Amino acid sequence: MEKEIIALQLAHILGEEFTPEDLKQKLEQPKHSSHGDIAFPCFFLARHFRKNPQNIAEDVSAQLNHPIFADTEALHGYVNIFLDQSFMTDHILRRATHIDYGRHRFGNGERVVLDLSAPNIAKPFSMGHLRSTIIGNSLGLLAEYCGYKPVKINYIGDYGTQFGHLLAAYERWGDKDTLQENPLKMLSDIYVRFHEEAKQNPSLTEAGRDWFKRLEEGEEEAAALWSRFRELSLEEFDKIYKQLDITFDLTRGEAYYSDKMGETIAILEEKGLLEQSEGALVVRLDEYDLPPCLIVKSNGTTTYATRDLTAAIDRYRAYHFAESLYVVGNEQTLHFEQIRKVLEKAGFLWASSMKHISFGMMLQDGKKMSTRKGRTILLEDVLEEARERAGGNADIGTGAVIFHDLKHQRQNDVEFSLDDMLTFEGNTGPYLQYTYARAVSLTEKADFDFRTDLKDGSAWELVKQLHLFPDETKRAFIQKDPSVIARYLLKLSKHFNQYYAHTKILQTDQMNQRLTLVQAVITVLKKGLHLLGMKTVEKM
């Protein structure tokens, strides 16, 4: 509200060359409260008006006038605007105690498809797969909160050359009884062994290629073994998703497209895009300074790219999405750029709506986790230890794991550390949940009437933080980065705890108003934690 008012007044003062929309984007939040609540920099106006920025600021400050302004000042080329705290507090508390506070409608009910999690069958669910899972889940929750209809797809890795390697490994070292008792451990162990021994024995790699070709051709033994591996893997994955409280609208593996890729190849051929290259079929992307996209290998087998192209076409036919988000690590950036460009060359106009939501790696001692090299930490083990360290409370333990990841800017790598996750001090999930429980305990100590006419200057910084929540939910979705919400919640909690430490909330004639403020904090914290995929805890 206040930014729109300021932008309209600025446009009137500065002239028709400047639109309210552009001027609104120029408004800043001062670093120090002594410089007001909103600042307007005048430096970019100096050339236009051929005046010193400070003189422009003085002219603008003298003309700004509205009941919500308590004062304005010109300082060092900025117009600093001080809002009427009583008016704004009443306005903000009325909104912030509403259950839908921070919700937007700009999605207009359009669909956003999210490709997330996507673990590989026959491998344990490691910490390395956590990032895609919880970043994607949070983006789905944010999409819904911004008015879209999210469609979360778990695109299981159940096809490709690596499964030929696994089948070859099982032929040599597999055991039916062990497979039934602990499927993912056994399959992971023989997969690691295969790659270790293949370094000295190249015939193993060739055997793996043969097994994958048998699988692609539907040979009975290969298909039966693969189906068993898949069934047991999905059962184990579901246990993890239940602990994380994450569901999907569709779980579909790459193998689903094994009999549908022929149409994709035919489309590319019809468009004249396929070229021979050393016995393989590729789509050249020279005009984009990208390497060729491999569609069919020289031995006749298809590729990861062929399946992704087919899946993209299938998803648009099914959902007519406004956006299709691939929540996959940074290392796949080239792959998704190739996929998008191939689809664009083939004439699919919606290809521009496909976006790679890349993220940094989960590191262990500074190194990437790797199942193939036997260097990984199992998410199941981490969740169990987190629960134990949290006194048996699974919500606190799981929330700690989720928040430790999501507080990092999406593109950054994350160093795994249980100790850092579970401390109750600092930038952690338990700190936020403790803050929420503390706020709830205050409202339970006294009956109170909702009163928004709070006259308390010491609450102003906390009120301003509450006021930012709608902007932050929008920004988090637009930037496709849940860390925006995580960092916001930390700031909100810090301001609340400072207010709590220095204010008598219950012993005052302003008790109703102050508890209304506390209730607003509870509402925003609960919604913010939900948008990160975390549960709240009433008592700690």
433 to 317, 389, 418, 425, 473: CA distances (angstroms):
42, 15, 17, 11, 19
Please determine, for residue 371, whether its predicted confidence score (pLDDT) is greater than 70. Answer: no
- Output the average pLDDT for the chain: 94
Taking alpha carbons only, the member of 458, 446, 389, 384 closest to residue 420 is: 389
Higher-confidence position of 374 and 216: 216
Q: What CA–CA distances, in Å, run from 405 to 426, 515, 532?
A: 15, 32, 10
The predicted structure's pLDDT at residue 372: 52
Q: Is-contact 254 156, C-beta < 8 A? A: yes
C-alpha 286/C-alpha 255 separation (Å) is: 30
Segment 112-125 mean pLDDT: 92
**CB of 187 closer than 8 Å to CB of 179:** yes
d(CA 514, CA 448): 10
Per-residue pLDDT of 489-526, as tens digits, reads 999 999 999 999 999 999 889 999 999 999 999 999 99
pLDDT confidence of residue 370: 59
- Band (pLDDT 50/70/90 cuts) for residue 458 is very high
Judge whether residue 373 has pLDDT over 60: no
Q: How many Cβ atoms from other residues are within 10 Å of residue 100's Cβ?
A: 10
Dmax (CA) for the chain in angstroms is: 84
Residues 280-298 pLDDT 10s? 999 999 999 999 999 999 9
pTM attached to this predicted model:
0.92
Quickly state the pLDDT bin for 377 (edges 50, 70, 90): confident
Given this model, what pLDDT does residue 144 score? 98
Coil/strand/helix, residue 446: coil
What's the pLDDT score for residue 66?
93
405/300: higher pLDDT: 405
Q: Which residue matches tokens 């060729």?
A: 292
What pLDDT band is residue 301 in, cutting at 50, 70 and 90?
confident
Cα angle value 126/130/133 (rounded, 5°)? 130
Half-sphere exposure of 7 (CA within 13 A, CB side): 15
Range of weakest confidence among 87-91, 221-225, 417-421: 417-421
222-268 confidence digits (pLDDT tens):
999 999 999 999 999 999 999 999 999 999 999 899 889 999 999 99
For the chain, give the percent of residues with pLDDT over 90. Answer: 83
- The mean pLDDT value for 26-52 works out to 94
- Encode pLDDT of 390-411 as tens digits: 999 999 999 999 999 999 999 9
Going from N- to C-terminal start, the domains of the chain cover 2-83
Q: What's the angle, vertex CA 494, arms to CA 491 and CA 499, rounded to 5?
A: 125
Is pLDDT above 60 for 382? Answer: yes
Q: CA-to-CA distance for 24 and 106, rounded, in angstroms?
A: 18
**CA 408/CA 26 separation, integer angstroms:** 27
> Domain 2-83's class?
alpha beta
